Homo-oligomer: A and B are copies of this chain.
């Protein structure tokens, strides 16, 4: 293909396969699949999940919930701690669809109890060691305090506990991911013992992809597995054949002597997530673009830096010298969620346009 600007490409077959594969696995395990839609943010891709039997979804803001409710979804978890200032918007959403919230403190719980009139499901988010949001698992009195407010409210329905443990993004392979996440599963089961009506849920892509058993877990909500990316490939969550999103970029300049090319593709297309990959800090890698699918990674290729619109691409000098300015190459981004968020639509590898929501 030829393009005059960076274009977010997706491989429809692989996307559908990734969705179907997770749906099939969780169905067999008897676990509800409640995928996170913040990765793709597209009504049309949402429909591919419907085709795989999905009826419940996760999003990251009331605005994103509204977009998907307008597209027919009626069981939506807003997977980010709710704030008092969102109460009015959420009231409107809960008049149209079933809404689940995260509430992590008594003040917010009390506020929603006093100011909501439609029923709301409420998760208490648990921090099992990742140290981001959530009530620390070792603060049972705080959990109980929030629970009591929910229990006494006629509109707030305590739904269960949710953990996102991002520590699995810093390790590699099934064994290490299991070592991080199995204690988290234990924490959730202990909470379930104390609160027998609670559903317990989690959703990091590495464990959802790699593990084959989630004892006691009721719902899983991975999102990134719809596309995967270089980070997940590096963790081992997927194989190269599962990678379903990349960015087509024009070559702006070829510096053959330096084994380097400058591409039109930078922080406003990939964001600036970086990983250490093959011993080097990298912002992306070059992937072959075949007629109807993505191909292999170009050996030794890596984006060594990105500025606002520029990408600095290193690769084997022989390969670089085969490029001409104006050619199109295909970059596998480090983090597909952040890269996809920077485009207003997708193009499928076979040339169709897929609309999406703009910006989070």
How far does the Cβ of A259 sit from chain B's closest Cβ, in whole Å? 12
Q: A81 touching B252 by the CB < 8 A rule? A: yes
Q: What are the interface flags for A56-97 relative to B under an 8 Å C-beta threshold, 1 for contact and 0 otherwise?
A: 000011110000000000000000110111100100000000
Q: A325 touching B105 by the CB < 8 A rule? A: yes
A29 at the interface (CB under 8 A from B): no
Interface residues of A in 259-306 (CB under 8 A from B): 262, 264, 267-269, 271-274, 305
Residues of B within 8 A of A63 (CB): 5
Known: A2-B85, A326-B85. A166 touches B307 (CB 8 A): yes
Interface residues of A in 312-360 (CB under 8 A from B): 312, 324-326, 328, 337-338, 341-344, 358-360
Q: A105 touching B250 by the CB < 8 A rule? A: no
Q: A107 touching B268 by the CB < 8 A rule? A: no
CB contact between A253 and one of B85, B133, B312, B328 (< 8 Å): that residue: B133
Residues of B within 8 A of A341 (CB): 268, 308
8 shortest interchain CB distances as A-B pairs: A84-B326, A4-B85, A272-B272, A268-B360, A81-B252, A83-B326, A133-B262, A4-B86
Known: A89-B4, A132-B310, A262-B132. A251 touches B83 (CB 8 A): yes
A55 at the interface (CB under 8 A from B): no
Cα of A81 to Cα of B261 in the assembled complex, Å? 12
CB contact between A309 and one of B80, B108, B264 (< 8 Å): that residue: B80
CB contact between A61 and one of B5, B38, B86, B134 (< 8 Å): that residue: B5
Q: Could you show 17 A-B contacts with beta carbons less than 8 Å apart?
A: A3-B85, A4-B86, A5-B63, A5-B86, A38-B309, A80-B252, A80-B264, A81-B252, A84-B326, A85-B328, A105-B325, A108-B325, A131-B312, A132-B305, A267-B338, A342-B359, A343-B359
| Chain A interface bracket (under 10, 10 to 19, 20 to 34, 35 or more) | 35 or more
CB contact between A133 and one of B104, B250, B267, B310 (< 8 Å): that residue: B310
Q: B253 touching A104 by the CB < 8 A rule? A: yes
Residues of B within 8 A of A251 (CB): 83
Q: How many protomers of this protein does the assembly include?
A: 2
Residues of A within 8 A of B (CB): 2-5, 38, 60-63, 80-81, 83-86, 89, 104-105, 107-108, 111, 131-134, 166, 250-254, 258, 262, 264, 267-269, 271-274, 305, 307-310, 312, 324-326, 328, 337-338, 341-344, 358-360
Residues of B within 8 A of A262 (CB): 81, 132-133
Cα of A134 to Cα of B258 in the assembled complex, Å? 13
Residues of B within 8 A of A272 (CB): 271-274, 338
Residues of B within 8 A of A274 (CB): 272
Name the residue of chain B whose CB is nearest to the CB of A343.
Answer: B359
Known: A166-B307, A307-B132. A81 touches B4 (CB 8 A): no
Cα of A269 to Cα of B80 in the assembled complex, Å? 15
CB contact between A326 and one of B5, B111, B310, B358 (< 8 Å): that residue: B111
